[in-house]
Amino acid sequence: MSNIRPVSDLRNYNDVLNACKEDSPVYLTKKGHGKYVLMDIEDYEKMKASLKLMSHIEEGEKSAREDSWISMDDIESALGL
């Protein structure tokens, strides 16, 4: 279940920080609308790594579409197999 709190709850920031656990971010609202997310640093680092990986995969796919794919025979030849 999502943990949604008004930003005014930061007055008691220890309660908000205690609610922020791994795989359980705290969503803060301002004037009734979603505004901020507090998350565990490990979750944040995992998310950054995932986005970086997806970006590299997209670059590879774009390169393959523009410059064509390398055949398995070419890979084996390059590796001396």
Rounded Cα distance between 30 and 32, Å, is: 5
Predicted pLDDT at 63: 87
Instruction: Report whether 22 contacts 43 (CB < 8 A).
Output: yes
Predicted pLDDT at 8: 93
Instruction: Report whether 12 contacts 35 (CB < 8 A).
Output: no
Predicted pLDDT at 27: 96
Burial label, 26 (beta-carbon count in 10 A; 0-12, 13-18, 19+): buried
Predicted pLDDT at 2: 83
pTM for the full predicted model: 0.67
Query: Structural domains in the chain?
Result: 3-39 (3.40.1620.10)
Rounded Cα distance between 81 and 74, Å, is: 10
Strand order of the sheet with strand 26-30? 3-6, 26-30, 33-38
When pLDDT is averaged across residues 20-29 and rounded to a whole number, the result is 92
Q: What is the pLDDT of residues 30-71, one digit of tens each?
A: 999 999 999 999 999 999 999 999 999 999 889 888 888 888
Predicted pLDDT at 22: 86
